[in-house]
Amino acid sequence: MKLFPSLPLALAMAALTPTLAAAQDDGAETCIAVPDPVVSLSYGSRYTDESEDRSDFDEDSNAAVNEALGPIDDFIQELASKANEAVRGDQAAADCVTDAILQWAEADALSELETMNARISSPARIAGIAMAYLQVKEAADLDPDAAETIDSWLVARARAAADYFDRDAPPGSSRNNLRAWAGLAAASVGEAADDDYLKSWAAHTTAVIACQADEDGALPLEMARGPRALHYQLHAVAPLVVSAALLDDDGYSLFDNCDGGIHRVVEFIPRAFENPELVTEKAGEDQTYFAGDDELASFELAWADAYLSLFEAPDLEAFVEEYRPLGNSKLGGSQSAIW
């Protein structure tokens, strides 16, 4: 499977399509209003001090984290949207994405992570930026010096995350969904910058997480999250599947590891929603999805298209159908555009 197989054809078609050509000439309308680069991050936990399973939000703390991450997440959404336009044939959109990322790279954004919570949550943001960059790098009119600046910045950020999760992350975070997102940062940056170390680290990390799956596909560290266990299982599935799919052409048979650990993790999702008792028994509590506190959202299932691009999975296909179109900015935006 080749990532973004439609990109060369889309760009060729764009040259022959007057409406797209006109859009490409109007750079002022298509480019991103780049926010000031966020260099430093410092915030605490979203959860109350009394929440042993890290499932009970502290309203004020949660709001503070969202405020700190909001500008970054908004930027990633803009990058993903423009990257998807590029994949569909808009050359100007490709240039907008690289120009925007270059400004953050030149400022060495996200290089000063001052708290543990900033360090464990930033890799998902690095992944989102890298997934946008990966879609447009070959199509953009990017000079070698600019490409080197972006590549070096992303590699430095992804390697810093890898080092943190290997050396300093808390025991749970070093093996749960948070490490899986660091794995996706490494996989996407590794692909974009052709960094073999990051690809290898991403492959190892994906195996570390997937090989914990029990015979049903549940991840024990996520099942320990009380009423939000299924939420965190979903949060782990996304980077596991997309990392494995990204690395599939690099000689890493990650879907085969641990007797198909990732396959079991994927298959657990539709089964859990069809049979809530399966999760309740493992987590020891009713899940927020089934108690009416949460609603399953399209972005939580966006990884399905990467999986379905490689494997036939009728149960998963049927399960996600009502949630289409599938998209998640940290996975690169519109999944149909990518996979």
Going by pLDDT thresholds of 50, 70 and 90, the confidence category of residue 62 is low
Establish how many alpha carbons lie within 13 A of residue 67's alpha carbon, considering only the half-sphere containing its beta carbon: 9
pLDDT in the model for residue 10: 42
With 90 as the cut, is the pLDDT of residue 173 above it?
yes
Going by pLDDT thresholds of 50, 70 and 90, the confidence category of residue 51 is low
Nearest to 120 by CA among 65, 190, 200, 81: 65
Highest mean pLDDT among 18-22, 247-251, 308-312: 308-312
- The region of weakest confidence among 18-32, 71-85, 207-221, 231-245 is 18-32
With 50 as the cut, is the pLDDT of residue 28 above it?
no
pTM: 0.90
Beta strands in 46-133 (DSSP E): 112-113
The percentage of the chain sitting over the pLDDT mark of 90, rounded to a whole number, equals 83
Name the phi and psi angles at 43, rounded to 5: -160, 165
Helix (H) or strand (E) holding 95: helix 91-106
What's the mean pLDDT in 308-326? 98
Distance CA 174, CA 294 (A): 27
The residues, any chain, with a CB within 8 Å of residue 302's CB and separated by 6 or more, are: 238, 326, 327, 328, 331, 335
The residues, any chain, with a CB within 8 Å of residue 260's CB and separated by 6 or more, are: none
Q: Say if residue 28 is exposed, middle or buried (CB neighbours under 10 Å; 0-12, 13-18, 19+).
A: exposed
- How far, in Å, are 13, 22, 89, 91 from residue 18 at the CA level? 10, 6, 12, 13
With 90 as the cut, is the pLDDT of residue 334 above it?
yes
pLDDT in the model for residue 17: 35
**Of residues 223 and 58, more confidently modeled:** 223
3-class DSSP assignment, residue 153: helix
With 80 as the cut, is the pLDDT of residue 306 above it?
yes
Going by pLDDT thresholds of 50, 70 and 90, the confidence category of residue 63 is confident
Nearest to 21 by CA among 81, 92, 97, 95: 92
